[in-house]
C-alpha cells in the first residue's frame, strides 16, 4: 500500500471521527430537546452567543433549537476544575475515560458509510477497511467498551462506582451472547454456500439492495436491538449508572472533562450502534427495499448515499432517545432474567430456526 | 374490614404481556402523543403569569384620584403588622395646604420588604384604604438596606387607585356648606 492511499484513508478516518463526534454533541442536545417535548416542556432554548445570536432569522432559529446549548455544555466541561479525589487509584482513574472513548471509535473503520457507482456500472462500497472479519472487529471492540466502565468503577475506590462497574460487566457478559447469536442468522442468510465474504459488513449491505433483513428476520432484528440497548448502557438497561440507587454509577467520582469524555463516549456508542443496526437490518446506504437505488454515478451519488445512511442512523438515534424517555429502568434482577431466561433461549431457537430454514428452503439470496 | 374486602384473582400474564412488547408500544404511543402536544412551559421573564384578583403582592401606598396621599399616619398597620415590617413617623399637614383639613400625613413611611410576610393585614386594617397589596411579586436588591422601601418608593409603586368614597373631600364640602359633621 503506497503512502497516498494511506493518507487518503487516514483522512477518511479523521473525517469519520469528526462526523461521529459532532453527531454525539448534537445527540446530547437532541436528547435534552426531545426529553423536554415528551415531558411537555420546550427544552433548552435560551442559550445564545452575543453576535451570532443576533443574526436576523438564523440566530433566533438556532437559539430556539438549543444548538448554542451544545457549546455551553461543552465549554463548561472544559473550564471546570479538574478534581482528582484523594482516595482513587490515580493511574487507572485517568486511564478509564481514555479506555471508554476508544472502543466506540475504532469500529468506524469497518462500517460501510456509503456507496459509489463507478462509470462502468460497478458499485463500490465506501469503507475504510473492507476486511472479511468486519463484524468480529466490531464485536471485539464493543466488548472492550465495558473495560472503561469497569476500570472507572474500580479506580474510584468507592462503593457506588464499584457496584456500577460490577453491574456493567455482568450485563455485558449476559447480552454479548444474545448479540452474537442474533448476528449469526444474518450472516448465514447473506453468505450463500461457497461465499468468501466471511463476516464482512459490506457484503451484508450489498445483499440488502432488494430486501432488508428487518422484515426478512424481524425476530433477529428485535433481539439485536434489545442487546444493542444493553450493550450501549442506555435506558432501560442503564444499570451501570442508575442514578436512583447508585448516585451516578461508575462515574460518581468523575468531574469536569473526564466526565465529559464518559458522556461523549456513551453517545458515540449510541451512534455507532445505530449505524450498525442500520447496516445489518435497515439496508445501510441502500435507498428503500424493493426499489432500485437512485444514486447517480460518481461523487454526487456517493454523497447522497452517505447522507441517506446518516439520515437512517439519526432516525434510529431518535428511537434510542424516545425509548429512554418512555421506559422506566429495569430492576437489576429483571435485567439478568430477561437476558438469560428469555433473550438467550429465544436467540438460540432463532438461530436453529434460521439454520433449518436455510437448509430446507432456497433463501432469497440464491434466487 | 371483614366482609368488605373484595379479593381479585391475579391473572397470570399472557404470552404477549410476558414479552413486554405491547406495553412498550403503548408507552411509545403515549410519549409520542406528548411530544406533539402543546407545551406547557411559560417562558417566564418574557411572558408573565396572569395575576388572579385578590393577589397579595408587594404592599404599596396609594393616592386618590386628586393626587392626595391617603395615609393619615394612624399607625394601625404598624401595630397590626405581625412581623413588624412597617415603621411610620407621623407628621402634620401644614396650614394653608389644600389638604389641611385632613390634619395628618406620614412624615416617613418605611416597609422592610425582607420582613414583610405578605399577609395583607395592613390592607385589611387600614381605615383610609391607603395601603394595598398589589400585583408586583418580584423584588430584588443588592443590599438589605435597598429593600427597605421609603415613602417615596412606596407611592411610586402604588400609584393612584380609584376612590369609592372621597371621605375627606365630602367632609370638607359639607363643612363649607355649614353642615359640619363634628
Residue pLDDT, tens place only, A6-30:
888 888 888 888 888 888 888 888 8
Q: Which of B24, B31, B40 sits opposite A38 (nearest CB)?
A: B31
List per-residue pLDDT tens for chain B, 182 residues long: 567 888 888 888 888 887 788 888 999 999 999 888 888 888 888 888 899 988 999 999 998 888 888 888 899 999 999 999 999 999 888 888 888 788 888 999 999 999 999 999 999 999 888 899 988 888 888 999 999 999 888 988 888 888 777 888 888 888 888 777 66
C-alpha cell at B6: 373484595
The pLDDT > 90 percentage for chain A reads 5
How would you write B51-90 as a 3-class SS string?
CCCCCCCCEEECECCCCCECCCCCCHHHHHCCCCCEEEEE
C-alpha cell at A204: 451484508
What dihedral angle (degrees, nearest 10) is formed by the CA atoms of B125, B131, B133, B137? -140
Res. A329 pLDDT band, cuts 50 70 90: confident
Residue pLDDT, tens place only, B65-97:
888 888 888 999 999 999 999 999 998 888 888
Q: Would you call B43 an interface residue with chain A, using a CB distance cutoff of 8 Å?
A: yes
Helix and strand numbers (H, E) in chain A are: 15, 2
Residue pLDDT, tens place only, A142-192:
888 888 888 888 888 888 888 888 888 888 888 888 888 888 888 888 877
Pairing of the two strands A123-126 and B59-61? unpaired
Task: Of A109, A155, A129, give the one whose Cα is nearest residue A15.
Answer: A109
Question: Is residue A112 within 8 Å of A206, Cβ to Cβ?
Answer: no
Task: Of A14, A43, A24, give the one whose Cα is nearest residue A261.
Answer: A24
| Residue A86 pLDDT | 83
Q: Would you call B22 an interface residue with chain A, using a CB distance cutoff of 8 Å?
A: no
Using CA atoms, how far residue A257 sits from A29, A68, A77, A184, A243, in Å, is 18, 19, 5, 39, 20
Q: What is the mean pLDDT of residues A225-231?
A: 87
Q: What is the DSSP letter of B131?
A: E
C-alpha cell at B111: 416597609
Q: Would you call A331 an interface residue with chain B, using a CB distance cutoff of 8 Å?
A: no
Q: Which of B18, B24, B39 sits opposite A327 (nearest CB)?
A: B24
Question: Is residue A253 within 8 Å of A205, Cβ to Cβ?
Answer: no
Q: Would you call A42 an interface residue with chain B, using a CB distance cutoff of 8 Å?
A: yes
Nearest chain A alpha carbon to B33: A38
Q: What is the mean pLDDT of residues A61-84?
A: 84
Nearest chain B alpha carbon to A37: B35
| Residue A1 pLDDT | 60
Res. A367 pLDDT band, cuts 50 70 90: very low
Residue pLDDT, tens place only, A111-126:
888 887 777 777 777 7
Cα separation, A251 vs A234, whole angstroms? 15
Rounded to a whole number of angstroms, the distance between the first and last alpha carbons of chain B is 72
Q: From the candidates B16, B35, B40, which should be mutated to test the interface with A, based on the most A CB atoms within 10 A? A: B35
| Residue B165 pLDDT | 79
B-facing residues of A in 18-37 (CB < 8 A) are 34, 36-37
| Residue B1 pLDDT | 58
| Chain B residues within an 8 Å CB radius of A42 | 39, 41, 43
Cα separation, A66 vs A47, whole angstroms? 7
Q: Would you call B34 an interface residue with chain A, using a CB distance cutoff of 8 Å?
A: yes
Of residues A364 and A9, more confidently modeled: A9
Helix H or strand E segment including A358: helix A344-360
Residue pLDDT, tens place only, A241-295:
777 777 777 788 887 888 888 888 888 888 888 988 998 888 888 888 877 777 7
A40/B30 CB distance under 8 A: no
| Residue A148 pLDDT | 84
Cα separation, B156 vs B151, whole angstroms? 8
Domains of chain B with CATH codes = 68-157 (3.30.70.3270)
Res. A364 pLDDT band, cuts 50 70 90: low
Cα separation, B77 vs B131, whole angstroms? 9
The dihedral through the CA atoms of A259, A261, A267, A269 has a sign that is negative
The dihedral through the CA atoms of A325, A326, A329, A333 has a sign that is negative
The SS3 assignment for B173 reads helix
**Crossing angle of the two packed helices A256-281 and A3-38, in degrees rounded to 10:** 100
A136 CB-near residues (< 8 Å, 6+ apart): A199
C-alpha cell at A332: 437489576
Q: What is the mean pLDDT of residues A188-205?
A: 78
Q: Which of A28-32, A58-62, A358-362, B106-110 has the lowest mean pLDDT?
A: A358-362
Give the ipTM.
0.77
Other C-beta atoms within 10 Å of B72: how many? 19
A327/B34 CB distance under 8 A: no
Amino acid at each position: 500500500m503506497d503512502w497516498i492511499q494511506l493518507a487518503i484513508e487516514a483522512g477518511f478516518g479523521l473525517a469519520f471521527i469528526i462526523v461521529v463526534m459532532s453527531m454525539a454533541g448534537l445527540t446530547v442536545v437532541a436528547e435534552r430537546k426531545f426529553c423536554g417535548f415528551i415531558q411537555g416542556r420546550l427544552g433548552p432554548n435560551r442559550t445564545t452567543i452575543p453576535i451570532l445570536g443576533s443574526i436576523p432569522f438564523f440566530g433566533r432559529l438556532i437559539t430556539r433549537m438549543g444548538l448554542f446549548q451544545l457549546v455551553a455544555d461543552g465549554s463548561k466541561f472544559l473550564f471546570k476544575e479538574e478534581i482528582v479525589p484523594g482516595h482513587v487509584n490515580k493511574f487507572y482513574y485517568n486511564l478509564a475515560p481514555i479506555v471508554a472513548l476508544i472502543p466506540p471509535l475504532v469500529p468506524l473503520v469497518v462500517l460501510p458509510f456509503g456507496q459509489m457507482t463507478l462509470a462502468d456500472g460497478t458499485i463500490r462500497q465506501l469503507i475504510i477497511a473492507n476486511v472479511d472479519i468486519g463484524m468480529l472487529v466490531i464485536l471485539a471492540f464493543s466488548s472492550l467498551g465495558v473495560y472503561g466502565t469497569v476500570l472507572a468503577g474500580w479506580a474510584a475506590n468507592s462503593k457506588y462506582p464499584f457496584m456500577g462497574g460490577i453491574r456493567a460487566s455482568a450485563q455485558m457478559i449476559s447480552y454479548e451472547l444474545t448479540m452474537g447469536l442474533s448476528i449469526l442468522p444474518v450472516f448465514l442468510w447473506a453468505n450463500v454456500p461457497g461465499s468468501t465474504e466471511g463476516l464482512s459488513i459490506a457484503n451484508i449491505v450489498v445483499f440488502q439492495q432488494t430486501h432488508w433483513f428487518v422484515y426478512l428476520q424481524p425476530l433477529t432484528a428485535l433481539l439485536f436491538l434489545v442487546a444493542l440497548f444493553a450493550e450501549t448502557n442506555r435506558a432501560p438497561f442503564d444499570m451501570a449508572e442508575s442514578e436512583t440507587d447508585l448516585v451516578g454509577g461508575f462515574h460518581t467520582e468523575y468531574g469536569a472533562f473526564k466526565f465529559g469524555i464518559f458522556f461523549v463516549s456513551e453517545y458515540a456508542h449510541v451512534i455507532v450502534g445505530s449505524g450498525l443496526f442500520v447496516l445489518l437490518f435497515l439496508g445501510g446506504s441502500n435507498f428503500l427495499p424493493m426499489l432500485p437505488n437512485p444514486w447517480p454515478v460518481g461523487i454526487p451519488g456517493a454523497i447522497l448515499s452517505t447522507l441517506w445512511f446518516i439520515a437512517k442512523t439519526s432516525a434510529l438515534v431518535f428511537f434510542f432517545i424516545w425509548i429512554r424517555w418512555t421506559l422506566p429502568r429495569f430492576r437489576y434482577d429483571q435485567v439478568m432474567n430477561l437476558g438469560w431466561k428469555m433473550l438467550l433461549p429465544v436467540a438460540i431457537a432463532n438461530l436453529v430456526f434460521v439454520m433449518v430454514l436455510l437448509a430446507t428452503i432456497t433463501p432469497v439470496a440464491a434466487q | 374490614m371483614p366482609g368488605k374486602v373484595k379479593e381479585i384473582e391475579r391473572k397470570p400474564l399472557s404470552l404477549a404481556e410476558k414479552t413486554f412488547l405491547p406495553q412498550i408500544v403503548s408507552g411509545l404511543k403515549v410519549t409520542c402523543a406528548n411530544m406533539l402536544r402543546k407545551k406547557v412551559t411559560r417562558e417566564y421573564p418574557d411572558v408573565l403569569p396572569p395575576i388572579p384578583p385578590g393577589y397579595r403582592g408587594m404592599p404599596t401606598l396609594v393616592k386618590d384620584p386628586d393626587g392626595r396621599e391617603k395615609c393619615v399616619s394612624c399607625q394601625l398597620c404598624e401595630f397590626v403588622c405581625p412581623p413588624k415590617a412597617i415603621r411610620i413617623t407621623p407628621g402634620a399637614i401644614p396650614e394653608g395646604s389644600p389638604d389641611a383639613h385632613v390634619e395628618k400625613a406620614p412624615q416617613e413611611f418605611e416597609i422592610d420588604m425582607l420582613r414583610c410576610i405578605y399577609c395583607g393585614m395592613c390592607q385589611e386594617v387600614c381605615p383610609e384604604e391607603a395601603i394595598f397589596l398589589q400585583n408586583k411579586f418580584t423584588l430584588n436588591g443588592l443590599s438589605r438596606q435597598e429593600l427597605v422601601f421609603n415613602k417615596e418608593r412606596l407611592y411610586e409603586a402604588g400609584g393612584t387607585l380609584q376612590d369609592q368614597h372621597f371621605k375627606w373631600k365630602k367632609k370638607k364640602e359639607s363643612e363649607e356648606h355649614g353642615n359640619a359633621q363634628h
